[in-house]
Amino acid sequence: MIQSREVFPLYGKEDFVCPSCSVYSQHDWYEILENQEGDLEISPFLRSLRDNTLARAFSMNERSVSFFKEEVNGYFTDNVTALSLCIHCGKPAFWINGNLVFPHNPSVSLPNQDMPEEVMKLYNEAREISVLSPRASAALLRLALEKLLF
Protein backbone atom coordinates (compact mmCIF):
# COMPACT_ATOMS: atom_id res chain seq x y z
CA MET A 1 0.00 0.00 0.00
CA ILE A 2 1.22 3.49 -0.84
CA GLN A 3 1.92 5.77 2.15
CA SER A 4 0.02 9.07 1.94
CA ARG A 5 3.15 11.26 2.08
CA GLU A 6 4.46 9.42 -0.98
CA VAL A 7 1.51 10.42 -3.17
CA PHE A 8 1.81 14.20 -2.78
CA PRO A 9 3.41 16.23 -5.57
CA LEU A 10 7.10 16.88 -4.88
CA TYR A 11 9.55 18.69 -7.12
CA GLY A 12 11.34 16.19 -9.35
CA LYS A 13 9.26 13.19 -8.25
CA GLU A 14 8.23 10.82 -11.06
CA ASP A 15 5.01 9.43 -9.52
CA PHE A 16 2.42 11.35 -7.51
CA VAL A 17 -1.30 12.17 -7.44
CA CYS A 18 -1.86 14.55 -10.36
CA PRO A 19 -3.18 17.96 -9.19
CA SER A 20 -5.37 18.12 -12.33
CA CYS A 21 -6.94 14.64 -12.64
CA SER A 22 -6.33 13.32 -9.07
CA VAL A 23 -5.00 10.02 -10.49
CA TYR A 24 -1.76 8.52 -9.10
CA SER A 25 0.32 8.66 -12.26
CA GLN A 26 3.75 9.17 -13.80
CA HIS A 27 4.95 12.69 -14.70
CA ASP A 28 7.53 13.94 -17.17
CA TRP A 29 9.56 16.98 -16.14
CA TYR A 30 10.75 20.01 -18.12
CA GLU A 31 12.66 23.17 -17.23
CA ILE A 32 12.29 26.56 -18.89
CA LEU A 33 15.70 28.20 -18.82
CA GLU A 34 17.06 31.52 -20.07
CA ASN A 35 20.14 31.04 -22.27
CA GLN A 36 23.10 33.41 -22.58
CA GLU A 37 21.36 35.32 -25.42
CA GLY A 38 18.36 35.96 -23.15
CA ASP A 39 16.09 33.57 -25.07
CA LEU A 40 13.94 31.01 -23.30
CA GLU A 41 14.70 27.34 -23.91
CA ILE A 42 12.89 24.25 -22.70
CA SER A 43 14.84 21.21 -21.54
CA PRO A 44 13.12 17.80 -21.30
CA PHE A 45 14.55 17.02 -17.82
CA LEU A 46 15.47 18.65 -14.53
CA ARG A 47 19.11 19.36 -13.80
CA SER A 48 20.07 17.23 -10.84
CA LEU A 49 22.73 17.38 -8.17
CA ARG A 50 22.95 13.60 -8.55
CA ASP A 51 24.20 13.62 -12.15
CA ASN A 52 27.06 15.84 -10.95
CA THR A 53 27.41 17.62 -14.34
CA LEU A 54 27.56 21.06 -12.75
CA ALA A 55 30.01 19.88 -10.11
CA ARG A 56 32.38 18.63 -12.81
CA ALA A 57 32.00 21.84 -14.85
CA PHE A 58 32.98 24.00 -11.89
CA SER A 59 35.43 21.50 -10.34
CA MET A 60 33.37 21.53 -7.18
CA ASN A 61 32.20 18.81 -4.86
CA GLU A 62 28.45 18.24 -4.36
CA ARG A 63 28.42 20.08 -1.05
CA SER A 64 29.80 23.32 -2.49
CA VAL A 65 27.46 23.07 -5.52
CA SER A 66 24.49 23.05 -3.14
CA PHE A 67 25.67 26.45 -1.80
CA PHE A 68 26.18 27.72 -5.32
CA LYS A 69 22.71 26.85 -6.66
CA GLU A 70 19.24 26.67 -5.14
CA GLU A 71 17.89 23.14 -5.06
CA VAL A 72 14.85 21.18 -3.88
CA ASN A 73 14.85 17.39 -3.56
CA GLY A 74 18.24 17.26 -5.29
CA TYR A 75 17.14 19.24 -8.37
CA PHE A 76 18.24 22.78 -9.25
CA THR A 77 15.49 25.41 -9.11
CA ASP A 78 17.31 28.41 -10.62
CA ASN A 79 15.15 28.17 -13.77
CA VAL A 80 12.47 30.55 -15.07
CA THR A 81 9.93 27.89 -14.23
CA ALA A 82 9.56 24.12 -14.41
CA LEU A 83 6.62 22.02 -15.45
CA SER A 84 5.53 18.46 -14.90
CA LEU A 85 3.30 16.78 -17.45
CA CYS A 86 0.87 14.07 -16.34
CA ILE A 87 1.06 10.88 -18.43
CA HIS A 88 -2.59 10.10 -17.59
CA CYS A 89 -4.41 13.37 -18.43
CA GLY A 90 -1.66 15.21 -20.36
CA LYS A 91 -2.14 18.39 -18.34
CA PRO A 92 0.83 20.39 -17.02
CA ALA A 93 1.54 21.60 -13.50
CA PHE A 94 3.78 24.65 -13.05
CA TRP A 95 6.56 24.93 -10.47
CA ILE A 96 8.52 28.00 -9.34
CA ASN A 97 11.51 27.67 -7.00
CA GLY A 98 10.59 24.02 -6.52
CA ASN A 99 7.06 24.84 -5.31
CA LEU A 100 3.86 23.82 -7.09
CA VAL A 101 2.09 27.06 -8.10
CA PHE A 102 -0.59 25.75 -10.49
CA PRO A 103 -3.00 24.01 -10.11
CA HIS A 104 -3.50 25.04 -6.46
CA ASN A 105 -5.68 22.11 -5.45
CA PRO A 106 -3.53 18.98 -5.19
CA SER A 107 -5.21 17.50 -2.11
CA VAL A 108 -8.91 18.18 -2.77
CA SER A 109 -11.07 15.48 -4.36
CA LEU A 110 -12.76 16.00 -7.72
CA PRO A 111 -16.55 16.56 -7.51
CA ASN A 112 -18.89 13.58 -7.60
CA GLN A 113 -20.31 13.22 -11.11
CA ASP A 114 -23.87 13.08 -9.68
CA MET A 115 -23.50 16.55 -8.16
CA PRO A 116 -25.97 19.08 -9.65
CA GLU A 117 -24.28 21.44 -12.12
CA GLU A 118 -24.90 24.59 -10.05
CA VAL A 119 -23.46 22.93 -6.92
CA MET A 120 -20.52 21.48 -8.88
CA LYS A 121 -19.61 24.97 -10.12
CA LEU A 122 -19.44 26.25 -6.52
CA TYR A 123 -17.54 23.14 -5.38
CA ASN A 124 -14.93 23.56 -8.13
CA GLU A 125 -14.49 27.25 -7.29
CA ALA A 126 -14.04 26.31 -3.61
CA ARG A 127 -11.54 23.61 -4.68
CA GLU A 128 -9.49 26.06 -6.75
CA ILE A 129 -9.05 28.59 -3.93
CA SER A 130 -8.72 26.13 -1.03
CA VAL A 131 -4.98 26.73 -0.63
CA LEU A 132 -5.06 30.50 -1.24
CA SER A 133 -8.03 31.19 1.05
CA PRO A 134 -9.43 28.34 3.18
CA ARG A 135 -12.12 30.63 4.71
CA ALA A 136 -13.38 31.83 1.32
CA SER A 137 -13.36 28.21 0.20
CA ALA A 138 -15.42 27.19 3.28
CA ALA A 139 -17.94 29.99 2.55
CA LEU A 140 -18.39 28.68 -1.00
CA LEU A 141 -18.82 25.11 0.30
CA ARG A 142 -21.51 26.33 2.72
CA LEU A 143 -23.33 28.00 -0.19
CA ALA A 144 -22.99 24.79 -2.22
CA LEU A 145 -24.50 22.80 0.68
CA GLU A 146 -27.40 25.26 1.00
CA LYS A 147 -28.17 24.84 -2.70
CA LEU A 148 -27.98 21.06 -2.33
CA LEU A 149 -30.28 20.90 0.72
CA PHE A 150 -32.92 23.58 0.01
d(CA 60, CA 45): 22
Q: What is the DSSP letter of 134?
A: H
Q: What is the DSSP letter of 115?
A: S
Q: Which is nearer to Zn ion, 12 or 19 (CB)?
A: 19
CA-wise closest residue to 132 among 92, 103, 94, 93 = 103
d(CA 68, CA 70): 7
Out of 20, 105, 130, 137, the only residue in the binding site for Zn ion (CB under 5 A) is 20
- Using CB under 5 A as the binding rule, whether residue 13 contacts Zn ion is answered as no
- Using CB under 5 A as the binding rule, whether residue 21 contacts Zn ion is answered as yes
29 strand-pairing partners: 84
Residue 64: phi, psi to the nearest 5?
-75, -30
d(CA 114, CA 80): 41
Provide, rounded to whole angstroms, the least separation between the CB of residue 127 and Zn ion: 15
The pattern of x and - marking residues 61 through 90 that bind Zn ion according to CB under 5 A reads: -------------------------x-xx-
- Using CB under 5 A as the binding rule, whether residue 129 contacts Zn ion is answered as no
- Using CB under 5 A as the binding rule, whether residue 17 contacts Zn ion is answered as no
Provide, rounded to whole angstroms, the least separation between the CB of residue 17 and Zn ion: 9
Provide, rounded to whole angstroms, the least separation between the CB of residue 90 and Zn ion: 7
If binding means CB under 5 A, how many residues of this protein chain bind Zn ion? 6
The residues binding Zn ion (CB under 5 A) are 18, 20-21, 86, 88-89
